[in-house]
Chains A and B, each alone.
Chain A
């Protein structure tokens, strides 16, 4: 079946197309070259005056896994449904279900999302939960960096090749798309009752620094040819003055690719009367000097949310600011996490400055290929607040309205009021489509060239960019219409993407012995069997 989308204004930065009116053709779920005769199309969508982009891709959103799921359970009072948004669709009356996650992302034109924190022992759960997010394609990042096996390797002076094999084995065992490191060594140090942990601190017992862990993992990801660079949650998240940590982490990357997640939470100076100030300019300047580094922002937006993190040390430190006053912390094999509910308030100096710092980062970094659109859902704000963030980035007037409402000292202390820049649709398409696909190593999406998956979002060209991006007029997933006029019409199933790099099987001997010595599971039972994931977890796996 041939489908024609005609007359829309195309924003496709991967092909350098900036608002040109062009026709797009699809066949069998993929974009194809135009046929000789446009009349050959079986289905025709006239899109005159509308904006056409590839489906959007979220590279960092906590949408599945035990930590997310327990946060749902911790706060039942926060997501009561007064009425069903989609009474006719599976679990369409369950705000914050996996199903609602799929529906709400799709409404905004998103078609791929990455869960950035899959603890290997929880990978089976994560895959089953991801499989129940409809419409979207999904992927997970496997957490390493606080695991005993790696720390033992490093303590014992193992060569990089051995680390590479172990990292590749982990990716295969968890069926993930990339590697995430969370406060490298921090959770391991917390087990020895450390309550602070910096880049050059040593993990007790192992005598290995955070920097060494970071380096080993980063080199492994590069050596294995994994498309997505090491995805790093730095040390000292949320601590005033931590912009220095972020800068030193960039230096530590030594010119190799590295992605720094939710950098807004590392954009903090320690100046001013409150000992808290914006470090956005220093971060942006450092990014200019380090073309190997990419970042996503982790924007804060005002309102109630819940912070969900594998940084168990940080979450323990944050227990006093829990609102409502309840919080949960857990430790498990090779990791842990914490859930701390929080309400960001515009009238609070720190929260207001966090909000401003995130926007400053978006606006100061002038390369939309290297700064990514996230709220670290739900840590800075739930992803459902994205339309507001699009609006803020694309409208200086909208920012000015907010600057008049936030804590006045924060409004004075930040750079934001001096930043004139407004994102263009081309830049938005770069930041949310073309660049994420490239960053994840998923060449088949994020663009509208022939051969790409037919994941397409069509928007009305509204002056209010928030309204525009809140409700796509049409979304196609693999060529199938899934959203019309901002409403889900077909909750198709998405797929789960993973990489399986080659490795020397010799690593399985010491690994199996290590499992036998220290684990409640054996190696063969620990690793997921990709051939059975469809039957046991409902996941349709695509291995790249």
Chain B
């Protein structure tokens, strides 16, 4: 093909598809097909392929599986959601404008709001809200961290370019080469991604489900408490003592994880140990946490919900007031318990996260190729932020926002426009 051309006047553009928020993508349009010349990232490749495939999918919304006009689909959505007594607005995998529109709609509906990865988000928040914590941004880790302790090797799968962009940048503010790497995970070294293996990490055979034990022992040793155990969490005492010595000797050790890796009961108690260890290290030296979520705009959804309602997710907006309850208001629980009678699912970054399988009538506003196990009552395809329209989205650490750009012509409205349109069709409720 000879008509390949840069998709944008900007030299490089940001990527919204994982929590790392890289911004060195060089998009090239070849006809209608979008390609990214650099970087090598499986998450980006999959997202780009899905966005490409979307162009060949039918662009029309569907009501009851049949093609419908946008007007008719929005009316059907408004009827379904407006008639519900206890709607759930969830997914929220979108840019800030889409999320903000979803929150305004949820308020008008008296809905409960959650995010597709709300459970992961809440593991971190449970730590934050009970004790607080000390954290570093991805940029600070890139420039200053000299010892990175990763809880669960799955983090590297979730952030494919973490090793290259954050742990081995060409140059750092502190002049160093990048942190030594310790991974708490019983995985065999050869199962790690090549870029991670190249950093010669030390692996301690501690599964995430037992990380709290190992971290607890480190805290006890640091506090000078009498310790009888000869190890904890799968690691021997000598190995943990060595790790503690390294944490104390480091100028800026950081403990990182993705809460999505901690899918077991009371995982926040394990993460609390990490927060406590970092607090203690800071009494004389420096240390920080890098607590990450699951991506798919969970950071943006959390931040936007906090400033709209005063609370993070999940929050119920029924009766004109916001009620935050991290157990009762969980989206999955409401669906499983039959306590929600309609679902609005917003997910426009990738074909996933898909709407949960549920008998509840569902309006899906999402990626044209959204993975649908069953045909929802209403499906409205919308553009992909950062490919089909401009937007803002938070990096996974919640600090930076990425200015997403429109890279190609496309037939879809934005999620924000669709949700605003539905909102305009919801009659004002009499609140009590």
With contacts A72-B307, A332-B136, A520-B138 taken as known, whether A88 is within 8 angstroms of B428 at the C-beta atoms is yes
The answer to whether B322 and A521 have CB atoms under 8 Å apart is no
**In the complex, what distance in Å separates the CA atom of A292 from the CA atom of B140?**
37
**Distance of B166 from chain A, by nearest CB (Å):** 7
B398 nearest CB neighbor, chain A only: A66
Q: Is the CB of B401 within 8 A of A96?
A: no
B288 within 8 Å of A by Cβ? yes
Q: List the one stretch of B79-87, B148-156, B309-317, B329-337 in contact with chain A.
A: B309-317
Q: Is residue A91 contacting chain B, with contact meaning CB distance below 8 A?
A: yes
Residue B432 at the chain A interface, CB threshold 8 Å: yes
Does A97 have its Cβ within 8 Å of any Cβ on chain B?
A: yes
CB of B328 closer than 8 Å to a CB of A: no
Closest chain B residue, CB of each to CB of A133: B307
Q: Please classify how large the interface on chain A is, using the bins under 10, 10 to 19, 20 to 34, 35 or more.
A: 35 or more
Q: How far is the CA of A84 from the CA of B24 in the complex (A)?
A: 46
Contact with A along B99-110 (1 / 0, CB 8 A): 010001001000
A326-B132, A520-B165, A535-B97 known; A64 vs B399 contact (CB < 8 Å)? no
CB pair A124–B322 under 8 Å, yes or no, is no
CB of B306 within 8 A of CB of A331, answer no
For residue A249, give the distance in angstroms from its CB to the closest CB of chain B. 27
Separation of A538 and B390 alpha carbons in the complex (Å) = 12
Task: Give 1 or 0 for each of B389-403: 1 = CB within 8 Å of chain A CB.
Answer: 011101101111111
Distance in Å: Cβ of B330 to nearest Cβ of chain A: 15
Stretch of B7-15, B223-231, B362-370 at the chain-chain interface: B7-15
- A529 and B403 form a contact (CB under 8 A): yes
| A439 interfacial contact with B, CB 8 Å | no
Of the listed stretches B170-178, B194-202, B353-361, chain A binds B170-178
Quick check: B135 and A330 within 8 Å, CB to CB? yes
Picked from A69, A80, A522, the residue with its CB within 8 Å of the CB of B303 is: A69
Verify if A544 is at the interface (C-beta below 8 Å from B).
no
CB of A44 within 8 Å of the partner chain: no
B400 with A94: CB separation less than 8 A: no
Contact B130 A124, beta carbon cutoff 8 Å = no
Determine the distance from Cα of A331 to Cα of B395 in the docked complex, in whole angstroms: 15
Bound Cα distance from A328 to B302, whole angstroms: 17
A91 touches B100 (CB 8 A): no
Beta-carbon contact of A518 and B173 below 8 Å: yes
Binary CB contact string for chain A from 521 to 534 against chain B (1 if under 8 A, 0 otherwise) = 11011001100100
Q: How far is the CA of A73 from the CA of B121 in the complex (A)?
A: 12
CB of B382, distance to nearest CB on chain A (Å): 15
The answer to whether B432 touches A339 (Cβ under 8 A) is no
The answer, yes or no, to whether B266 is at the interface (CB within 8 Å) is no
Decide if A84 touches B171 in the complex (CB within 8 Å): no
Q: Which of B10, B125, B130, B139 contacts A73 (CB 8 A)?
A: B125
Q: Does A90 contact B (CB under 8 A)?
A: yes
Interface assignment of A414: CB less than 8 Å from any CB of chain B: no
Contact B97 A538 (CB under 8 A): yes
Q: Report which of B132, B135, B285 forms a contact with A331, defined as CB distance below 8 A.
A: B135
In the bound complex, how far is the Cα of B399 from the Cα of A331, in angstroms?
A: 10
Is there contact, CB below 8 Å, between A331 and B311? no
User: Nearest-CB distance from A272 to chain B (Å)?
Assistant: 30
Q: Are A91 and B308 in contact (CB under 8 A)?
A: yes
Q: Nearest chain-B residue to A79 (Cβ)?
A: B310
- The reply to whether the CB of A99 lies closer than 8 angstroms to some CB of chain B is yes
By beta carbon, the residue of chain B nearest A340 is B132
CB distance from B167 to the nearest CB of A (A): 12
Given the complex of chains A and B, what is the CA–CA distance between A166 and B10 in angstroms? 22
Chain A contacts to B: CB under 8 angstroms: 64, 66, 69-70, 72-76, 79-81, 83-84, 86-88, 90-100, 119, 121-125, 128-129, 132, 148, 191, 193, 316, 322, 326-333, 339, 517-522, 524-525, 528-529, 532, 535-538
24 A-B contacts (beta carbon < 8 Å):
A66-B398, A72-B310, A73-B125, A74-B132, A93-B317, A94-B308, A94-B321, A95-B310, A122-B400, A125-B399, A128-B304, A128-B392, A132-B308, A322-B132, A328-B133, A328-B135, A330-B134, A331-B135, A331-B288, A332-B136, A332-B400, A517-B171, A520-B22, A520-B138
